Structure formats: C-alpha cells, structure tokens
C-alpha cells in the first residue's frame, strides 16, 4: 500500500482536513507523562504537529518516503522512514526502547497496518503505567441535505475500488480489533464519535476526494470516478465553484492503555529460544500453543500459534489461528498445524495447566517430527510430562500480581486477595530487594535512554590516571573495562554483556581465568551486584599482579554562587536517590572493596583526585540532565530542573557563551587480591543487613586468599 500513498502524497497534503487541537489536549490529559509520543503512518505530519504542542519529543514514522518528503517541520518532531523490511527490534530501538512512549497516535491509517505486528510493538513501547494508544478515522462529509445525497451516490460508486482494509474506516472502526483497556474515549466495537469542522471551497473538496485510495486505484484501472459529469453534479449541489462552505467530517476514535494482562506479564529471554533451537536438528516449523500475545513465540520463525481467545488474536503475527477446543476435532487441528510428523518444536508458555492433557499430549505426539522434534514447557514441577528430557525452571521477577487469574476470580466472588495488610507485607518484602532490582533495571531502561547525552556531557578522565595504574601492573596484555558506557576509559574491543549471561560465559568471554592484568570501572561499580561481580574479578585477575581500580566523581566546583545552586539541586534530588546512587554521592567511602591496597585508596579511604573540564552553560545543563536521579524523578512526575532553577543557574553563570572551568571531585580505590599471613587464631562475628557472617582466621601458617569473601562460610 505504500506505493499507492506515494502517488497521492501531494493531494494528501492539500486535501485532508485538520484535526481539532482539543483532541490532542484531551489525549494529553490522559497520559501521566509527556516526554515522548509516536505518530505512526504520519504522512505529511499534521497529527505529529498537533501532538508536539503537548509532548517534549514526537517521532513520526511512515512506510512512504514520498509522504515524508512533504512532512511539515517542527522543533520537537523528528521523522523517520520505516520500510516494511525493518524488524520489530529495529523499530523499538529507533523509537526509544521498550516502556518509553507516553502516547501513540494513528490518524486515518491503522486499518492499513498488520495489526498483530503493530499491536505487539505498541504493547512493548508504551510506558507502564499510563501509556496510551489513540487511533481515529473519518469518512462522511456533511454539508447540506441536497449535497449529502449527491455525495452518497458518488461514494457508493467508489465501493468496488476500495481495498478490503478500507472498509474498517468506512464503517467507522466499529469492527476494528482494539485489545486495549478503555479510558472513556471509545472502546472496541464502540468508537467515540467526533466532528471535524472545516471551511472548504469546492476545489478543496475535490482535492480531498481525489486523495482517496479508491479514486487512485480506479484511475489505475482506467475508471475515472471523478468524470466531468460527476464533478459538475457535485459543483451544482455545492452552490458553485467559488462558494466556501462549512463541512463536517464525521470522525471515530478509539483510545486505550495496554491491558493489565499484557502490560504486567514478563518477557521471556531470547536466550531460552536459542537453547531450544540448538536442541532441534531442523528448524522448519514451530508450534506455540496458548500463544496469547505471542510473548512466547516472537523469537520463533516460521511459527504457527493457536489460541482459544479471540480477544488476543490481534496481538499475533501472520500465522495465528483461532482454535476453539470445544468445536475443533483433533484431525482439524492436526491439519491446521501442518499434518502429522511435521513440527520441530512445540512450546507452551504459562498455559499448559489449563489444558486437557489427556487430549493434548496425543495431539503433540501425532504432530511432532520424527527427526526428532522437541517439546518445551515453561515451569511445572508436578505436571505430568510423558516425554523424554528435562524441565528447566527459570525464575523471573517484575510480575504484576493483579493480573493473576486467581486474584481476578476471587474479586468477582467479593474476596480481596490483595487486602491492605497483604499489600503492606508484600511492600515490606519488596523493599529488601529494591536495590538489586534498581541495579538490574537501570541497565535496560535508564542508561539506554540517556546514552546520547552521556557521550556528550561527561568529563574525560586524565591520561595520567591510566599511566599510574599501568605502572602498578607487572604485565600489560589484557585489560577489562566494566560498565564501559561510551568507552572513554577503554580502547579497542566492545562486547555486550546482558544480565542473563552466566558467570562462566562472562569469564570465558573476557579471556578465561587468571588472564586480566587490569580491571577498571569508571563511575559504574555502585550499580553492580557486588556479591556476583567481585568473585568474577577474583577469577579473571592475573596472579600475581592483577589490579582492580574503580572510581567515581561527585560534586563539581565552579564558583561559590554556582556551587550553592548546585548544592540546592542535589538536595532536591535526595528523595529520588537509590541506594546505589548514594554510594557515589558518598565518594565511595561506604563502598565494600575487599582488595589489598596498592597505595591508591583502600576500603573506606578512597584516593581524592581532581578532573578539570572546560564547560559552557549548555554543557552544564547537559551534564545535569544526564544524571540518573533527574530521569528517575521525571518518571515520577517531578522536574528537578524547573525553569526557575535554570534561570538561577544562568544568572550565576554570566553570559551564556561564557566558558568556565569545572573541577570534578573524584575518588578512586585500587587493589589486588588479598594475601594474608596468619600466625594466630582469631574469630569475630559481624552483622550486615541483618545477615550473620562469620569470619575465621586460620593460624600458624601462611594462606593466600583469592578474596576476603573466601573467609565467609
């Protein structure tokens, strides 16, 4: 269809009505945040410009390059061509990453989309909670009884030339699948009816209907739907070609947020699917059963999915099949999947417990390939599973229990399983793991968002620091920079190390045990799972002589006046600081560091250093905006850099073009693995985070310890 809209791009620009400004205000009032919006099928960008009045950044995308060439510019709008060949992950990355978009709009276009693919993208991109999808279309133009009658006759003549998808728009989106939770602005089957008023000349009317895809299609087939006779009839009932009339276009809107059952469920790691694929000798056909929104089958291609729920089908890729178990025979199901002995992999994600296993397992055995195929079930320790192989249990966090079926079933029976007492107990337990969860989520969410600003705003570490560290290591073969960011503390090769990577995989990737001369971590180690990171360091550091060095910078110094405002800014951020962020603000004085000192700081006593950077006022703002605490506060609806504070900074800075010297106070810890020489027996008991740890010091002989953690038992 992109080629069709390329042809009518000029007509689109001139002929389409303008959507009322109050629509955008209405939608903005229903989103919690106003950072990022995505206008899909943006065309010439008229909806994107309307959205931009309420959101900090708007991204407009379209499959038609011709349409985008005629797009209208706006300082907060960026346009991108998204050809059909672009993958889902590429689109997600282009827009801003998962869970990043506050509003998705589609004006007069969603009926052309591959809905399963599009809705899946929307579900991944929308911010939870509060993200919103709004789609709308318009059809009839009402002017006067005489004109409306003639216009209907013309419209009826176009019907044979409309693409089948267009009838969703002609019918006012009453049949459009829309599996999103209603917010009162229309819902599936019941669109909100709206009017688009427009002052229009007869020439404007002709441009509008000439831009219809049916008119263009008919013309390509040698049929002129706007023949001189038709145009003359319409002109007569209009009242003459010079007359400007008020036209009311009838519009229909659906708006909703991601349904709880979709937004709350975890996403399965791609690594799982790689493991399963590695176990099958052939990869022709996979069958994902009880597929829901296709979370469990997104990585399987080609794939057939079946589902008993119609409401979930529009979230699925092209090979989705609705299979009502109470109507479909086993033979019918086998034929749909591909026949006996045809399937290489069968997957069932969080659904098997609902199945009639006595019927289901024979169907699987009948369809599975003899080459051989593989069965995979996520979960289940007590579930009957009459197949050769092993069940792997993998724990996932970040699940919203309000989406669990027992909770909703009990609620319908007037039993509240999430009473205030239960919620408080869960909150208390959750607090114990908050810091670990924060570390994990920061990597995928916060730092991904601020990657560009990090690169520009952060200071450069002095070269003499690296010379100092190099002088402390006897060999200079391999160094590992952890949490490298944009790589300014490293040179050479970069490798992505997702949190799902095992310790053994990571050790092997770096170069194996006893292979690394220097490990560095620049303003990052506070976010790490130290109980996991330090043992990995112990394994990969070369013995003897391998060194780990970590550092961070905290406050900046410019002048007493600017420093005072900076102090107030950091005080504003205190309520939004995670425990990890506080470790950096405390200059690594509270950072556990179980390594033997090499004279460059030690646990509790970091070495103080200065970094200098020439900085403009805009550079200062970029630095402040790159701080994690600013993003965390913003997501909670608090602006730590309000207009008043920015004006204070600007007044204290002087001329905006002035360049000042910033002094960053930096703190470093460096050390090698402990070597303890013990000549007496000592034992001491310590307490940390309410967990008892016993340290035992061995006597009368020398023992070289891999790490002080080796004393824990």
Q: In the structure, what pLDDT confidence band is assigned to residue 70 with cuts at 50, 70 and 90?
A: confident
Strongest mean pLDDT among 25-34, 381-390, 674-683: 25-34
Q: In the structure, what pLDDT confidence band is assigned to residue 195 with cuts at 50, 70 and 90?
A: very high
Backbone phi, psi, residue 73, to 5°? -85, 155
In angstroms, rounded to a whole number, what is the distance separating the alpha carbons of residues 461 and 112? Answer: 52
Residues with Cβ within 8 Å of 47's Cβ and at least 6 positions away in sequence, in order, are 19, 39, 105, 107
470 pLDDT higher than 90: no
Nearest to 292 by CA among 314, 307, 274: 307
What mean pLDDT is predicted for residues 105-117? 92
The CA distances from residue 80 to 58, 65, 66, in Å, are: 11, 9, 12
Contact 104, 132 (CB under 8 A): yes
558 pLDDT higher than 80: yes
* Packing angle of the helix pair 115-125, 88-95 (nearest 10 deg): 40
CA atoms within 13 A on the CB side of 514: 3
Higher pLDDT residue, 508 or 438? 508
Higher pLDDT residue, 424 or 246? 246
The CA distances from residue 605 to 525, 533, 584, 667, in Å, are: 16, 21, 14, 9
Q: In the structure, what pLDDT confidence band is assigned to residue 485 with cuts at 50, 70 and 90?
A: low
In angstroms, rounded to a whole number, what is the distance separating the alpha carbons of residues 106 and 138? Answer: 12
pLDDT of residue 265: 55
pLDDT of residue 387: 64
Q: What percent of the chain has pLDDT over 70?
A: 73
The CA distances from residue 245 to 13, 201, 242, 319, 341, in Å, are: 20, 6, 10, 48, 67
In this structure, what token pair is assigned to residue 410? 């009990």
The CA distances from residue 612 to 356, 666, 687, in Å, are: 69, 10, 40
In angstroms, rounded to a whole number, what is the distance separating the alpha carbons of residues 529 and 328? Answer: 51
Spell out the alpha helix ranges (H) of 36-137: 46-52, 65-69, 88-95, 115-125
What mean pLDDT is predicted for residues 663-692? 59
Backbone phi, psi, residue 531, to 5°? -65, -20
466 pLDDT higher than 60: yes
In angstroms, rounded to a whole number, what is the distance separating the alpha carbons of residues 139 and 153? Answer: 14
Contact 307, 290 (CB under 8 A): yes
321 pLDDT higher than 80: no
pLDDT of residue 615: 82
What mean pLDDT is predicted for residues 40-45? 92
Task: Report the chain's mean pLDDT, rounded to a whole number.
Answer: 76
pTM: 0.44
Q: In the structure, what pLDDT confidence band is assigned to residue 668 with cuts at 50, 70 and 90?
A: very high
In angstroms, rounded to a whole number, what is the distance separating the alpha carbons of residues 607 and 468? Answer: 13
In angstroms, rounded to a whole number, what is the distance separating the alpha carbons of residues 444 and 99? Answer: 10
Element of type H or E holding 452: helix 451-457
Pairing of strands 682-688, 596-597: unpaired
pLDDT of residue 439: 42
Contact 262, 156 (CB under 8 A): no
Examine residue 398 and say whether the peptide bond preceding it is cis (omega within 30 degrees of 0): no
Q: Where are the beta strands (DSSP E) in 155-241?
A: 180-182, 192-201
165 pLDDT higher than 80: yes
Nearest to 140 by CA among 196, 192, 188, 185: 196
Rg (CA), the chain: 31
Judged by average pLDDT, the poorest of 94-103, 536-545, 648-657 is 648-657
What mean pLDDT is predicted for residues 680-684? 40
**Can you tell me which residue has the tokens 């229309």?**
186
Strongest mean pLDDT among 275-279, 455-459, 707-711: 275-279
Residues with Cβ within 8 Å of 109's Cβ and at least 6 positions away in sequence, in order, are 40, 41, 43
Apex CA 199: angle with CA 198 and CA 204, to 5°?
95
179 pLDDT higher than 70: yes
In angstroms, rounded to a whole number, what is the distance separating the alpha carbons of residues 35 and 628? Answer: 16
The CA distances from residue 188 to 108, 134, 279, in Å, are: 17, 12, 42
Report the 3 state secondary structure along 352-412. Answer: HHHCCHHHHHHHHHHHECCCCCEEEEECCCCCCCCCCCCCCCCCCCCCCHHHCHHHHHHHH
Judged by average pLDDT, the poorest of 526-535, 586-595, 627-636, 663-672 is 627-636
pLDDT of residue 555: 72
pLDDT of residue 654: 86
What mean pLDDT is predicted for residues 414-433? 67
């Amino acid at each position: 269809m992109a080629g069709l809209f390329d042809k009518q791009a000029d007509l689109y620009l001139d002929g389409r009505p303008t959507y009322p400004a109050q629509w955008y205000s209405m939608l903005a009032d229903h989103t919690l945040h106003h950072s990022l919006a995505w206008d899909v099928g943006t065309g010439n960008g008229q909806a994107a410009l309307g959205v931009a009045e309420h959101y900090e950044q708007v991204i407009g995308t379209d499959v038609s390059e011709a349409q985008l060439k005629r797009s209208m510019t706006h300082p907060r709008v960026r346009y991108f061509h998204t050809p059909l060949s672009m993958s889902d992950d590429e689109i997600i990355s282009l827009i801003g990453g998962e869970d990043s978009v506050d509003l998705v709009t589609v004006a007069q276009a969603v009926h052309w989309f591959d809905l399963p693919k599009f809705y899946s993208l929307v579900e991944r991109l929308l911010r939870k909670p509060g993200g919103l999808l709004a789609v709308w279309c318009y059809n009839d133009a009402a002017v006067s009884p005489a004109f409306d009658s003639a216009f209907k006759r013309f419209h009826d003549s176009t019907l044979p030339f409309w693409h089948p998808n267009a009838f969703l728009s002609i019918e006012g989106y009453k049949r459009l699948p829309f599996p999103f939770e209603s917010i009162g602005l229309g819902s599936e089957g019941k669109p909100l009816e709206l009017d688009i008023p427009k002052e229009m000349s007869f020439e404007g009317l002709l441009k509008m209907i000439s831009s219809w895809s049916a008119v263009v299609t008919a013309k390509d087939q040698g049929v002129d739907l706007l023949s001189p006779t038709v145009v003359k009839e319409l002109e007569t009932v209009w009242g003459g070609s010079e007359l400007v009339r008020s036209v009311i276009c009838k519009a229909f809107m659906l708006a909703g947020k991601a349904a709880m059952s979709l937004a709350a469920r975890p996403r399965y790691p791609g690594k799982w699917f790689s493991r399963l694929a590695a176990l099958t000798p052939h990869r022709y056909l996979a069958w994902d059963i009880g597929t829901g929104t296709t979370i469990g089958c997104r990585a399987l291609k080609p794939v057939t999915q079946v589902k008993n729920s119609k409401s979930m089908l529009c979230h699925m890729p092209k090979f989705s099949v609705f299979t009502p178990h109470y109507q479909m025979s086993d033979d019918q199901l086998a034929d749909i999947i591909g026949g006996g002995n045809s399937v290489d992999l069968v997957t069932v994600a969080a659904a098997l417990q609902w199945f009639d296993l006595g019927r289901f397992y024979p169907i699987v055995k009948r369809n599975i390939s003899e080459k051989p195929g593989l069965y995979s079930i996520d979960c289940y320790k007590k579930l009957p599973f009459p197949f050769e192989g092993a069940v792997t249990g993998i724990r996932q966090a970040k699940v919203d229990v309000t989406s669990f079926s027992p909770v909703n079933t009990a609620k319908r029976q007037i039993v509240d399983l999430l009473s205030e007492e239960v919620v408080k107990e869960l909150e208390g337990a959750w607090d114990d793991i908050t810091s670990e969860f924060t570390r994990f989520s920061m990597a995928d969410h916060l730092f991904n968002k601020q990657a560009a600003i990090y690169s520009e705003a952060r200071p450069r570490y002095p070269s003499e620091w690296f010379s100092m560290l190099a002088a402390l290591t006897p060999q200079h073969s391999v160094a590992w920079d952890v949490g490298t960011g944009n790589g300014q503390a490293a040179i050479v090769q970069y490798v992505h190390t997702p949190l799902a990577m095992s310790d053994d995989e990571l050790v092997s990737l770096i170069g194996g045990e006893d292979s690394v001369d220097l490990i560095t971590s620049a303003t990052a180690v506070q976010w790490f799972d130290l109980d996991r990171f330090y043992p990995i360091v112990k394994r990969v550091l070369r013995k003897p002589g391998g060194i780990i060095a970590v550092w961070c910078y905290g406050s900046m110094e410019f002048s007493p006046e600017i420093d005072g405002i900076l102090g107030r800014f950091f005080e504003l951020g205190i309520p939004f600081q995670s425990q990890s962020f506080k470790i950096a603000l405390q200059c690594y004085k509270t950072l556990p560091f179980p390594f033997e000192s090499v004279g460059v700081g030690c646990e509790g006593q970091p070495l103080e250093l200065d970094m200098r950077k020439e900085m403009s006022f805009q550079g200062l703002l970029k630095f402040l905006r790159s701080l994690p605490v600013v993003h965390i506060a913003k997501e909670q609806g608090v602006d730590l850099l309000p207009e008043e504070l920015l004006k204070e900074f600007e007044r204290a800075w002087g001329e905006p073009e002035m360049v000042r010297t910033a002094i960053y106070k930096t703190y470093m810890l460096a050390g090698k693995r402990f070597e303890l020489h013990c000549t007496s027996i000592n034992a001491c008991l310590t307490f940390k985070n309410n967990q008892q740890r016993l340290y035992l010091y061995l006597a009368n002989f020398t023992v070289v310890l891999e790490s002080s953690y080796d004393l824990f038992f």
